[in-house]
Structure 1
Amino acid sequence: MRCIDGLFEAYKALDRISERTSGAEQDKARCTVENILKEVKENGDAALYRYTELFDGFKPNPLEISPDILQQAWEETPPKLQTALQLAHRRIKDFHQHQRPADLSIKGVHGETLGRRWRPVQHAGIYIPGGRASYPSTVLMNAVPAQVAGVEQVTMVSPGGKNGKINTVVLAAAHLAGINKVFRIGGAQSIGALAFGTETIEPVDVITGPGNIYVTLAKKSVYGKVGIDSLAGPSEVLIIADHTAQIEQIAADLLAQAEHDPLAASILLTTESNIAAAIPRELKRQLKNHPRAKICQSSLANWGLIVICEDLKSCIELSNKFAPEHLELLIENPHSLVEKSTNAGAIFIGNWTPEAIGDYLAGPNHTLPTSGTARFSGALGVETFMKNTSLIEFTQNAFDHTSDAVMELAKSEGLHSHSESIRIRKTL
């Protein structure tokens, strides 16, 4: 990991990390994605078969995984893991139940009624990554808020392995979450299928879930045809640590992020030079016999960063500039920085709240803004799967009190018939 002492250099280093997925590679991927989406739109299932065989090494025939296989996956899941999944499901559902937005109805001073009504979308699609790891937790984090919102149909897509099979625990989580439409396809082609529909897959209204650069660019391209949750990039954690932080805990939390992906970013901001010096040694110790050591080493070498800060004020200034997906506060008085943190996807407060708690079962969603987008966006939630409609009802009294103002505004914009639609009613 690179170690920096000084704010100016730290700002530059954090900017570099924020932009780690941009550049020529993204431009090349974008061209590939557009071609894939075009073919899926034109050729439907045939394109899904072709691209799955090309990229994933198997022909997905049939595309859909039957509910019986989902049931079987659950039954084959070890009892302790079933219990853990059930606990996570219950906690995530309990938390998201509190997010349901309330309808709004206001009586105006002249008798008018103004309101906003919330309703769920009819059909949601969720993308569950495959590849380097399996993510049953992501199944729950995407399916549960959709169901709490009242979505009638949730369709899940996830890439199969070389044998054409999706991870058994992922399927078990889908069964637990009540998903009965699961397709073993991934990549940009699966996003195209959800957005445009094919002979087998119905088009959806909203697509959520993280993925690689091809999935992200595909979601970006189909946005407008469908809604999306966010354009998620590689995962990241930023830890602020003072003299009370434990070296072993800091290193473990940094590695918990690094093991996701070679592009994952693990960042430590600390007021203690001795902690900064000790962390590389502790990381090396914990990486011995680590099952994902190569991924961790690549991540830390390219995107790991340690910054020695003058004080906690400097730490939080850097954090707010970076706007991390995950912010851990391993300091003596963590609540002193919670309100000062203005840009973060999720804040993990104190030594007993490692980020892994939030990844699996704390309750709040683990699908969070990355790459600085926490400056203007937040976690996936129930509202992601809902839309609101404005309700407006004027009485004649309310109309009479506002009509002249409406006509003046319409005339100022040169919109004759807008004004006329008011004037005609004034003469009735």
Structure 2
Amino acid sequence: MIRRLDLRTDPTAELPRAQQDVEHALHVVGPLCDDVRARGEEAVLEYGERFDGVRPASLRVAPEYLEKALADLDPAIRAGLEESIARLRTTCEAELEQTVVTTVAPGATVERRIVPMQRVGLYVPGGLAPLVSTVVMNTVPAQVAGVGSIALTSPPQAEFDGLPHPTILAACALLGIDEVYAAGGAQALALLAYGSVATGGSVQPVDLVTGPGNIYVAAAKRYLQGTVAIDSEAGPTEIAVIADDTADPAFVAADLISQSEHDPMAASVLVTPSDALADAVTAELERQVPTATHQARISTSLAGPQSAIVLVADLDQAVDVANAYAAEHLEIQTAEAAGVAARIVNAGAIFVGAWTPVSLGDYAAGSNHVLPTAGCACHSSGLSVRAFCKNVHVVTYTEAALREVGHHVEVLANAEDLPSHGAAVGIRTGRTR
């Protein structure tokens, strides 16, 4: 069901990771992205037909389909979406940075102005599961940031005549997103990054692309970075759980299963100093997995090289392992869980205590579920309102303020053998003419 890795006897053993990495997938997505750049919307339609099994009548989803999807939406699902939107909007509004003006000397000010991105592209997966919650997680922080132009793409579905899943369309309508494209995978990201105007289409390029996806979506982000900004390389999902003898094995097993349900390549890792808990969780997995709706993909995920029960000497080593692994989602189910969580420096999101499962964060915690994967949490952050903003310094000096500091500028410019830099100050202060 799931292998064991004992770091007590072999502390140098490699941590569980998927065998297929982003670098490998780059060789696949690079030529595809180049083709979309060269041929535009026609290339995107062809790739949709090849990979998704359907060729949409139009890439752009007509307004009437968005309106119908919202009108047909189950009221309970709508209520859940509205609650998720409200909670996430609350945290985004609290996290939105404000413009700050600093007076560094009399007559000298530096303003850090917060400027929203002008146009962004949001990606919502639609392969094994229609991730309607990802519409919320991408859109709300962009709207709170003040982004003026938002385009969203999601794969065409053969069972819905080439449209994205109707629940995804309904969420777009609920949030007021009317620029929606039936495009998935790397080709969708290339369409957003390059636009299609140069090839006779109507899609304007974006400044930033956000959203999770499979390994090829993550690779496309890496390939397109520089042409467009990205949030992070959010590939197949992963969960790590630090747990000790106080943890409920049924809870731990259910949480490992919940992320394995996403994708056969999803990673589920338990880090524990307790052999007894490891045994109990294994027994719970054997009990719970056979009754799961998506038993096949869950079993594949748990049995893969990316998943394991990792045995450690104590919680100190568990923290070290968790920081080295840098999980997308990290649960702490231990005694004094808050204290353990405080020692974590590398994780996309941390879920503290037995009553805070990752599933809560996936939908309605008020946090964002678009998070860095594959160890990228050591240098990248989860999606937030900040991702949709830029900082611009606005510098204002009076003549007196420039005269007060100008000689320092000239000295430093000469020290770097850039005398014309100094002369640009001197010509104003009368030192050079």
Q: Give the TM-score, by structure 1 length.
A: 0.95
Contact 2:212 2:218 in 1 (8 A): yes
Match of 1:315 in 2: 318
CA distance in 2, matches of 1:393, 1:11: 55
CA distance in 1, matches of 2:342, 2:95: 21
Match of 2:59 in 1: 63
Give SS of 1:351's match: coil
Match of 1:193 in 2: 191
Deviation per residue, 1:240-276 (Å, 9 max, x gap) = 1112111111110010111111111111112221111
Q: How far does residue 148 in structure 1 lie from its aligned partner after superposition?
A: 0.4
Q: How far does residue 325 in structure 1 lie from its aligned partner after superposition?
A: 1.1
1:268–1:84 Cα change, 3 Å: same
Deviation per residue, 1:349-384 (Å, 9 max, x gap) = 111111100010101111111111211221111111
Give SS of 1:105's match: strand
Give SS of 1:238's match: strand
1:154 corresponds to which of 140, 150, 154: 150
Amino acid at match of 1:41: R
Instruction: Extract unaligned runs of 5+ from structure 1.
Output: none
Give SS of 1:9's match: coil
Deviation per residue, 1:294-323 (Å, 9 max, x gap) = 111111111221122222112111111111
Deviation per residue, 1:124-167 (Å, 9 max, x gap) = 11011111111000000000000000111211101112241321
Match of 1:379 in 2: 382
1:5–1:50 Cα change, 3 Å: closer
Give SS of 2:336's match: coil
Give SS of 2:269's match: strand
1:172 corresponds to which of 165, 170, 173: 170
Amino acid at match of 2:236: P
Contact 1:105 1:113 in 2 (8 A): yes
CA distance in 2, matches of 1:202, 1:277: 55
Contact 1:10 1:307 in 2 (8 A): no
Q: How far does residue 11 in structure 1 lie from its aligned partner after superposition?
A: 5.0
Give SS of 2:14's match: helix
Give SS of 2:128's match: coil
Alignment RMSD: 1.6
CA distance in 1, matches of 2:326, 2:180: 34
Match of 1:5 in 2: 6
Contact 2:217 2:235 in 1 (8 A): no
Indicate whether 1:106 and 2:129 are aligned: no
Match of 1:247 in 2: 249
Q: How far does residue 170 in structure 1 lie from its aligned partner after superposition?
A: 1.1
Q: How far does residue 54 in structure 1 lie from its aligned partner after superposition?
A: 1.9
Q: How far does residue 6 in structure 1 lie from its aligned partner after superposition?
A: 2.6
CA distance in 1, matches of 2:163, 2:110: 52
Residues 224-239 of structure 1: pairs in structure 2 closer than 5 A: 224-239=226-241
Amino acid at match of 1:322: Y
Indicate whether 1:357 and 2:360 are aligned: yes
Contact 2:7 2:13 in 1 (8 A): no
Residues 124-135 of structure 1: pairs in structure 2 closer than 5 A: 124-135=120-131
Residues 387-426 of structure 1: pairs in structure 2 closer than 5 A: 387-426=390-429
Give SS of 1:336's match: helix
CA distance in 1, matches of 2:12, 2:295: 28
Give SS of 1:328's match: strand
Give SS of 1:64's match: coil
Contact 1:239 1:267 in 2 (8 A): yes
Amino acid at match of 1:356: S
Give SS of 1:337's match: helix
Deviation per residue, 1:6-31 (Å, 9 max, x gap) = 346355231x41x63328xx43x323
CA distance in 2, matches of 1:59, 1:213: 23
Contact 1:262 1:299 in 2 (8 A): yes
Instruction: Extract unaligned runs of 5+ from structure 2.
Output: none
1:172–1:8 Cα change, 3 Å: farther
CA distance in 1, matches of 2:414, 2:254: 65
Indicate whether 1:289 and 2:291 are aligned: yes
Deviation per residue, 1:175-214 (Å, 9 max, x gap) = 1121101110111211111111111322111110011222
Match of 1:39 in 2: 35
CA distance in 2, matches of 1:196, 1:366: 26
Give SS of 1:65's match: coil
CA distance in 1, matches of 2:323, 2:31: 38
1:11–1:82 Cα change, 3 Å: farther
Contact 1:127 1:207 in 2 (8 A): yes
1:369–1:5 Cα change, 3 Å: same
1:260 corresponds to which of 259, 262, 280: 262
Amino acid at match of 2:132: P
Q: Give the TM-score, by structure 2 length.
A: 0.94
Q: Which runs of 4+ in 1 moved over 4 A?
A: none
The aligned length equals 423
Q: How far does residue 169 in structure 1 lie from its aligned partner after superposition?
A: 1.1
Contact 2:59 2:183 in 1 (8 A): yes
